[in-house]
Amino acid sequence: AFAAQNYHGDPLLGGVLGGLILLGIRRGAFSNEAGIGTAPMAHGAAKTSEAVREGLVAMMGPAIDTLIVCTLTALTILVTGVWQTEASNGVTLTASAFDASLPGIGKYLLLICIAAFSVSSLFSYSYYGSKCLGFLAGAHNKHWYNYFYVASIVVGATFSLDAILNLIDGFFALMAIPTMIATLWMAPRVMKEAKRYFGELRG
């Protein structure tokens, strides 16, 4: 009943498109964290007199990351044609594309970008986790998270990439559920504040 030859036409196309959409959502959430609920912790700590303005700044993050950085990366891979000859994928495929377009220095430029992204991600998630534990268990206990965090980095380095990505996807899904509920619950208040802010700009 589940043999591959039984699926053709519209059901096959629907399954392929559904799989691509799901993969896009998973990698998009991993890339820009939109809807996960982590970025509000950083933007909430910003010193500003106008919350709506800070929210608009926060909205620029996923746009820049996805529409500019990810699109340019994909175009680099497509234009150089490495996707047709390389058996690799992910960052190794990107490294091949950069090396083909900028021989000699391309892969090193990408290495610098990846290192900057990795280090900033380490500090960011250390901050996010300690803030969450401080909220749940009190500020005096938040330092315990950093011990767990460092241990998880060491343990995670021994697992396969696919296992780590699946684990991240699972935790991101658990984080997205309360974030979406809170977003719907707070939507009327956000709309009210947004109308006030843009009304003041027009006035």
Checking if the pLDDT of 112 tops 70, the result is yes
147 is a domain residue: no
151 is a domain residue: no
Please tell me the predicted confidence (pLDDT) of residue 28. 66
For 58-82, write each residue's pLDDT tens digit: 888 888 877 888 888 888 888 888 8
Give the domain range for residue 186: 159-203
Three-state SS sequence of the chain: CCCHHHCCCHHHHHHHHHHHHHHHHHHHHHHHCCCCCCHHHHHHCCCCCCHHHHHHHHHHHHHHHHHHHHHHHHHHHHHHCHHHHCCCCCHHHHHHHHHHHCCCCHHHHHHHHHHHHHHHHHHHHHHHHHHHHHHHHCHHHCCHHHHHHHHHHHHHCCCCHHHHHHHHHHHHHHHHHHHHHHHHHHHHHHHHHHHHHHHHHHC
For 126-171, write each residue's pLDDT tens digit: 998 998 899 899 889 999 999 999 998 888 888 887 888 788 888 8
Confidence of residue 2 (pLDDT cuts 50, 70, 90): very low
Q: Report the domain count for the chain.
A: 1
**Separation of alpha carbons 66 and 73, rounded Å:** 10
**Separation of alpha carbons 162 and 9, rounded Å:** 31
Please tell me the predicted confidence (pLDDT) of residue 144. 93
Identify the residue with better confidence: 164 or 90.
164
**Separation of alpha carbons 142 and 41, rounded Å:** 15
113 is a domain residue: no
Please enumerate in sequence order all residues whose Cβ is within 8 A of that of 89, keeping only pairs 6 or more positions apart, or say none.
none
% residues pLDDT > 90 (the chain): 11
Nearest to 38 by CA among 186, 139, 175, 193: 175
Checking if the pLDDT of 27 tops 60, the result is yes
**Separation of alpha carbons 167 and 162, rounded Å:** 9
65 is a domain residue: no
119 is a domain residue: no
Please tell me the predicted confidence (pLDDT) of residue 164. 83
Query: Where is average pLDDT lowest: 26-30, 92-96, 131-135, 181-185?
Result: 26-30
70 is a domain residue: no
Average pLDDT, the chain: 82
Average pLDDT over residues 167-196: 88
3 is a domain residue: no
Checking if the pLDDT of 30 tops 70, the result is no
178 is a domain residue: yes
